[in-house]
Structure formats: structure tokens, C-alpha cells
Amino acid sequence: MKSAVLKNGKITIINKEIPTLEKTEGAIIKVNACGLCGSDIVKINHSTPSNENKISLGHEIVGTIVDINVDITGNGAKTPFKKGDIVAMGHHYPCFKCKYCTHGNYSMCETFKNSNIHPGGFSEYIYADVNHLKNTVFKKPENISEEEFSFLEPLSCCIRAIKRSGLEFNNKELNKTYNALVLGLGSIGILMSEALKAFGAKTSGFDINPERQAFIKNFGIDFDKNIKYDLIFMTSGANKAIDSALNLIDKGGKIIVFSSIPDDIKGYNNNEIYYKELSIIGSYSPSPDDLKMSYEFIKTGLVNVKNISTTYKLDNLEKAINDTKLGKILKGYIEL
Ligand SMILES: [Zn+2]
Ligand SMILES: [Zn+2]
């Protein structure tokens, strides 16, 4: 099978053995397509000759189960899966037992960090284990396209960030008193804006790129530089975004850090945090509960995930990466 790996820092399509189940429990999924995530590009940028063979690329998978040897009922999975099911999934699962899990920091759990699909979403087939099937795999609803369903995992990351900001989905009366701003309007910024609207928050978005600022109007999102914001979601990986956030945050506000930036030293000012009683909160990857909420949002059409992706073939993965870096596209959707 074809599989995209890094060789000397370059995307290379190699030929690999198709994974099989043999005596192991789990499923083999034929990847139909996989979204290109900003984190894939960060991994490529940070790769070194010594670690590049350990890097797994691609996780926003939609695919077809071609082999399965476990029958799961209950434990989070609503439907037991069978051969032929089209599914989307998250790639990590927590242990639900350790200190981090007990505190709700599922993505900090050791099991979470060590779990993955094999070899990666930019491969024609992957192996998902039994815990994936129990906790992170969802069957595609009839009414949505595979492309829309590929947003399951990235949308769940946004939902996690919104929950970590303190908003509760069922508390819309309170949520509508919050002015929320999304800084950075790439594909994640769009998903974050859509999810914030679904939570009922007053939602605005800003991007230094005027085309992106214009595009978000299609989602009913504007920007008013004259108001202060209670919640700011940092989906931009630019150093300057921190300055913008500190200028735009209201007293008592929360800044949700959702992206790494190139400058390791750049940070938030102690005195701003103190005198304005700010909260700076990180949000990294989704928990199984966030995936469930994302599934419901997509299934019911509560969020619009149409017309965001640009489709490429696996052989053009390198081009998709370059087009993303250049800001020519919002989101690469790689067909296998
Ligand atoms: Zn992702
Ligand atoms: Zn854990």
C-alpha cells in the first residue's frame, strides 16, 4: 500500500505492507481520505533526521472498515461496527484512571499520548485498536458527506477549547452574555467560530489576512475593534497574536491558547494577568466526550463544515502542504 512518510525532511510516498489483524483485536480501516492538520505541518517543520522515522502523519481520517474481529457493545460506542461501515475517528484515547484523567486533563494522560493509529492517516490502510473502537470511532451518518465527516476530530478539538473556557452547552442564557473572539481564521478558526455560535456565545473573528476576514462573513462572523472580549481563542500561530489578545481582552477575561507560536520566549504579561484578573488556559487535543459532542454537531448540522476543504490526491500531499503554508487554501483534504 502507499504510505506518506518523511525522508530527509521531505514527504515521500513509500510502499508498505497492508496492516492485518491476525490474532490482535481491532479493525483495519481503508482510508478514504484524511484532512491535513496544522499539527502535521508543525511536526514536519520540527522534524530532525533522527526522529523523522517516528513521526506519524495524518489523523483526520474518514475510512471504511475492511476487517474487524471485535464485537463491542456499550462503553461509549453506540453502534457495534461491522465490515463496510464508513467511520471517522480520533487517534488518541485516555486511560480514564490516572490523575490527569481524574482531573479532566485527558489529553495529558500517558495512555493518551502513547496511543495512536498505525501507520497514519496518509496511508491507504490503518490499524485501529479495540480502545479506539470503544472510545473514538464513529459511524458516518447517512445525511452528511465523507468530507464533512472528516471534520469530526478537528471540530472536537475546538469544542474542548470552548468547554475549557467555562462555557457549558446547555447554559445558553449565560453563554450569550459572553463576547467571544477567535484570533486567526484558518480552518480551525472557522470551526471554532461555528462551535462558539452553537454554544450561544456572541462570536467575532479576526485575521490579519483580509481575504480570510472577508470569507468568515459567509459564516455570519464580523469583527469590531472597539469592543473588549471576554473570551479570546488563539488559533493563530503568529507571535503578534499575543499582543492583539492582550489589547482586546476585557477585565476578567480568558485567553484560550490553542496554537504554538514560533517564538518560545514570547508570553503573557504578569501584571496584565494580575490587574485584569485574566485567565490564560491551554487546550490540547480532544477527549472522547468532545468527540461525541462533535459527532452530534456535525450529524445535526449545528455547525457548517461545508466549503472549507480543497481536495488533493495523496501523490500531491506535498503541494497541499505548501499551499497551506502559503495561505492559498484553508484546509487540505487528501484522498487516498
Ligand atoms: Zn488535527
Ligand atoms: Zn489517564
Q: Are 52 and 7 in contact (CB under 8 A)?
A: yes
CA pair distance 171, 95, nearest whole angstrom = 29
Residue 266 lies inside a defined structural domain of this protein = yes
Ligand 1 centre to CA of 154 (Å) is 5
Assess contact for 138 and 291: CB atoms under 8 A.
yes
For the CA of 131, the nearest ligand = 2
Q: Which ligand is nearest to the CA of 38?
A: 1
Q: Are residues 105 and 230 in the same domain?
A: no
CA separation (Å) from 319 to 148, 159, 227, 242, 324? 22, 30, 40, 30, 8
Specify the pLDDT at position 247.
Answer: 96
Q: Which domain holds residue 143?
A: 2-151+308-335
Residue 203 within a domain: yes
184 and 212 assigned to the same domain: yes
Q: Note residues around ion ligand 1 (Cβ under 5 angstroms).
A: 37, 154
- Ligand 1 center to residue 37 CA distance, Å? 4
pLDDT score, position 9: 87
Q: What is the pLDDT of residue 261?
A: 87
Q: What whole-number distance in Å separates Cα of residue 120 and Cα of residue 98? A: 26
Q: Point out the ligand nearest to the CA of residue 285.
A: 1
Look over the chain and give the mean of its residue pLDDT values, rounded to a whole number. 94
Domain assignment present for 290: no
CATH of the domain at 205: 3.40.50.720
Distance 86 CA to ligand 2 centre (A): 28
252 & 321 share domain: no
Total length of the chain: 336
Which residues surround the ion ligand 2 when the cut-off is CB under 5 Å? 94-95, 98, 101, 109
Do 59 and 8 share a structural domain?
yes
CATH number for the domain that contains residue 92: 3.90.180.10
Query: What's the pTM value of the predicted model, to 2 decimals?
Result: 0.95
Q: How many domains does the chain have?
A: 2
Q: Residues 285, 92: contact at Cβ < 8 Å?
A: yes
| Cβ–Cβ under 8 Å, residues 59 and 117 | yes
Ligand nearest to the CA of 150: 1
> Average pLDDT for consecutive 10-residue bins of the chain (336 residues)?
94 96 91 96 90 93 93 56 95 97 97 95 96 95 97 98 98 98 96 98 97 95 96 92 96 96 89 97 96 97 95 97 95 98
Report if residue 294 sits inside a domain.
Answer: no
256 with 208, same domain: the answer is yes
